Amino acid sequence: MKRTWFLISILGACEFAACAQEAGNIVYGGARRRTSGVQTPAVTPGNLSTVEPKGSVPAAFIEANVLMNVKADEYLAVFGLAQEGQTPLDGNAKMAQQIQAFVAALKSLGVKTNDLFVDFITQNRVYDVTGTDKDARETLSGFEVKKNVTVRYRDPALLEQMVAAAAQSAIFDLVKVDHVVSDMTRLRDRLLAEASKVIKKKEAAYARLFGVKLRPSALDQEKYNAFFPSEMYNAYVAYESSDMARFNVRVVGKRKTSTFYFNPLHPAEFDAIIGPSGLEPVVQLTLFVRMKYSLNR
């Protein structure tokens, strides 16, 4: 009697750390999405007090975790190029023609010369295998030249036009897109000011609601962090399939399509948020501050 098994599986939102869209093909490098990165070895976040050594003065802690959403001031797109030739001169000659055509196309889009940079990456020998099944040997077949072209631009809509121009020059590797924030010092000052407001507000609330009298004694921890869109994308595969397996029967599966989505830091992690996240990916800056207090008795 023959028996047949039917297996119905549903795969939904199977996430793994990655990045895409304006991140470029760096998505395939396995970059990992991070959390806000708060590390508090002495005190677990959210706890007001902790166990102090015997004989020490009783202490309490008040903390603030602040998030700021920032639009990039400019962007850096990196395109990867590779050419092979019988000699290094052949490879470099082909590369020069390809770069010349690409640069001309970029300039027609309004990109200026000082916003372009050609970065020499490597020049390698390329080997091939020749011979028979019993006697196969590697032989030098040519040379490969690799370079990157970095483009600085300020209008996000320009990226698609540059990708199309690159394709016309047989350039298909958009390595990555960096989001550049210019005045990081000014933004950190604003984060610190907002964190101080949060801590003072909590201090006043504890005194008013619980009668806890606190006296600030030290800045226990201060941690800044920055999260760029290229590391904040997740990938997933979603599909339904029905697989039938029998003895001596091999089921050949079909290729499943994966896609990516921007997954920013969750607002629930923070006491205060500066600036809306909006529709487009943004740079997220964070500050965690913890103040140490002495208990007045």
pLDDT of residue 156: 93
- Contact criterion met (CB below 8 Å) for 18 and 231: no
The model's confidence at residue 102, banded by pLDDT at 50, 70 and 90, is very high
How high is the pLDDT of residue 242? 64
Q: Which of 29-43, 65-79, 111-125, 203-217 is predicted with the least confidence, judged by mean pLDDT? A: 29-43
pLDDT at 136: 83
**Average pLDDT over the chain, rounded to whole?**
82
Q: Tens digit of pLDDT for each residue in 211-223?
A: 888 888 999 999 9
Q: Kindly list the domain boundaries of the chain, sorted by start residue.
A: 10-72+183-295, 74-180
C-beta of residue 241 within 8 angstroms of C-beta of residue 27: no
CA atoms of 130 and 137, how far apart (whole Å): 5
Q: Rounded CA gap, 267 and 48, in Å?
A: 21
* Span of 182-191, 239-248, 275-284 with lowest mean pLDDT: 239-248
> Given 3.20.20.10, 1.10.8.190, 3.30.70.2970, 3.40.50.300, which CATH number is that of 74-180?
3.30.70.2970
- Convert the pLDDT of each residue in 72-95 to its tens digit: 999 999 999 999 999 999 999 999
Which H/E stretch holds residue 116?
strand 116-131
pLDDT over threshold 60, residue 137: yes
C-alpha to C-alpha distance for 34 and 51, rounded to whole angstroms: 30
* pLDDT > 60? residue 31: no
Q: What pLDDT does 57 receive? A: 63
Q: Which pLDDT belongs to residue 41?
A: 44
Q: Which of 37, 24, 6 is nearest to 245 (CA)?
A: 6
Determine the pLDDT at residue 139: 87
Mean pLDDT of 166-182: 95
Confidence (pLDDT) at 251: 72
Rounded distance, CA 122 to CA 145, Å? 6
Instruction: Give the residue, 50 or 129, on which the prediction is more confident.
Output: 129
User: Which residue stretches of the chain are H helix?
Assistant: 88-108, 158-168, 184-210
Res. 56: pLDDT tops 70:
no
More confident residue, 36 or 100: 100
| DSSP character string of 150-210 | EEEES-TTHHHHHHHHHHHTT--EEEEEEEE-S-HHHHHHHHHHHHHHHHHHHHHHHHHHH
pLDDT at 34: 57
- At 18, the pLDDT band (50, 70, 90 cuts) reads very low
